[in-house]
């Protein structure tokens, strides 16, 4: 076969393409460099970071920030708590939100319109912190591992996203064909719907996991036992403690504490971010598909 000759690119198009490439590279650098700086700063000498000598690579290596963090007796316990809350909370969130999203996508659901409205209202109006705290306490969830998983598992936003996905991605004829083959609703959902919904499962799972992993406020309110607290809350308490010590000291000791606190911040960002960054590449393919949910309607 003869290859078709490509139409020569005009000078204006070349300039436009170069501008787009240049802007894209600039945006990548703006986004990536702060993260890279945090990583190299966490392995640098505190004095080099304070003096501005660290730009692209550590001038002199130091693990002071990590050493101070790893000496904390509750660090690994809180790390395990965070992993448990994230895994269990994500699975429970998917178990709750995905079936509800599918049910709301069914046009034969009785009262579908009003149920959708009931799920939209909590996105704008909530009961408030005190009523939620009292309900949590009355159910006996206060200061237990389940308070980080059960009360906040239902997400109206995730349910609406899942409903939109099922509305736009699953043709009605698929359900009719399954009925002809003798499949019921539950069997259809587990054997046909879920295998075809990997994209939305990955998106909602990633959103839920990141939200739980970064959460510290709920733990601050509902957990008083240090052995149950997640990593983010422990790191926050350590940084506040160091800042308090800085205000109580003067001179060289205050400067040393300030540098140590800064190195702890960099190290804390790294150890609390790396796990999520390692998980994302495995979900990227499905995530790229899921973010377009509802963007195109037939």
**How confident is the model over 115-153, as pLDDT tens digits?**
888 888 888 877 788 888 998 999 988 889 999 999 888
* Residues sharing a CB contact under 8 Å with residue 110, sequence separation 6 or more, in sequence order: none
Q: For the residues 270-295, what does the mean pLDDT come to?
A: 68
Rounded to the nearest angstrom, the gap between the alpha carbon of residue 156 and the centroid of all alpha carbons in its chain is 17
pLDDT at residue 297, as a whole number: 47
Alpha helices by DSSP H, listed for 106-192, are 112-120, 129-138, 156-169, 172-180, 185-188
So what's the pLDDT on residue 60? 80
* pLDDT higher than 80, residue 54: no
Q: What are phi and psi of 121, to 5 degrees?
A: -55, -45
Cα separation, 41 vs 50, whole angstroms = 10
pLDDT of res. 288: 58
Contact 157, 99 (CB under 8 A): no
- CB 170, CB 298: distance < 8 Å: no
* 2-32 per-position pLDDT tens digit: 455 555 567 778 888 888 888 988 888 888 8
Q: What is the value of pTM for the model shown?
A: 0.78
Q: Is-contact 96 295, C-beta < 8 A?
A: no
Superfamily of 66-290 according to CATH:
MetI-like (1.10.3720.10)
Query: Is 93 or 236 the better-scoring residue by pLDDT?
Result: 93
pLDDT digits (tens, 9 = 90+) for 217-272: 888 899 888 889 898 888 788 777 766 766 666 666 666 666 667 777 788 888 88
With a CB cutoff of 8 Å and minimum separation 6, the contacts of 93 are: 153, 155, 158, 204, 205, 208
Q: According to the model, what pLDDT value does residue 87 have?
A: 92
- Smallest Cα–Cα separation from 90: which of 235, 273, 225, 276? 276
Mean local confidence (pLDDT), 165-173: 83
Q: Is a pLDDT exceeding 50 seen at residue 298?
A: no
Per-residue model confidence (pLDDT) at position 293: 54
Q: Tell me the pLDDT tens digit for each residue of 176-223.
A: 888 888 888 888 888 888 888 888 888 888 889 888 988 888 888 998
Q: Could you give the CA distance from residue 90 to residue 69 in angstroms, rounded to a whole number?
A: 27
Q: What's the pLDDT score for residue 250?
A: 65
Give the Å distances, CA to CA, from 121 to 106, 157, 273. Answer: 20, 11, 33
47: tokens are: 């004095």
Backbone angles phi and psi of 221, in degrees to 5:
-85, -40
Write down the pLDDT at residue 1.
46
- Rounded to an integer, what distance in angstroms lies between the CA atom of residue 36 and that of residue 55? 10
pLDDT at 44: 81
């Amino acid at each position: 076969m003869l290859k078709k000759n490509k139409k020569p690119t005009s000078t204006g198009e070349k300039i436009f393409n170069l501008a787009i490439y240049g802007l894209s590279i600039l945006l990548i650098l703006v986004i990536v460099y702060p993260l890279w700086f945090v990583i190299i700063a966490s392995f640098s000498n505190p004095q080099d970071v304070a003096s501005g000598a660290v730009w692209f690579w550590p001038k002199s290596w130091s693990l002071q920030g990590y050493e101070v963090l790893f000496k904390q007796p509750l660090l690994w316990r809180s790390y395990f708590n965070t992993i448990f809350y994230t895994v269990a909370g994500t699975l429970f969130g998917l178990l709750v939100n995905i079936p509800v999203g599918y049910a709301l996508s069914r046009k034969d659901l009785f009262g579908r319109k009003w149920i959708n409205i009931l799920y939209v209202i909590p996105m704008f109006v909530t009961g408030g912190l005190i009523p939620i705290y009292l309900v949590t306490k009355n159910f006996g969830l206060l200061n237990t591992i389940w308070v980080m998983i059960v009360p906040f598992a239902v997400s109206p936003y995730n349910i609406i996203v899942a409903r939109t996905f099922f509305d736009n991605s699953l043709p009605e004829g698929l359900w009719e064909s399954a009925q002809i083959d003798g499949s019921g609703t539950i069997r259809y959902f587990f054997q046909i719907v879920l295998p075809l919904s990997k994209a939305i499962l990955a998106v909602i799972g990633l959103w839920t996991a990141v939200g739980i992993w970064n959460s510290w406020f709920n733990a601050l309110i509902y957990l008083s036992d240090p052995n149950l607290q997640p990593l983010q809350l422990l790191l926050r308490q350590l940084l506040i403690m160091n800042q308090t010590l800085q205000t109580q000291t003067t001179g060289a000791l205050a400067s040393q504490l300030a540098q140590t606190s800064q190195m702890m911040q960099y190290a804390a960002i790294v150890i609390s971010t790396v796990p999520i960054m390692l998980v994302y590449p495995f979900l990227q393919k499905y995530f790229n598909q899921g973010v377009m949910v509802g963007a195109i309607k037939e």
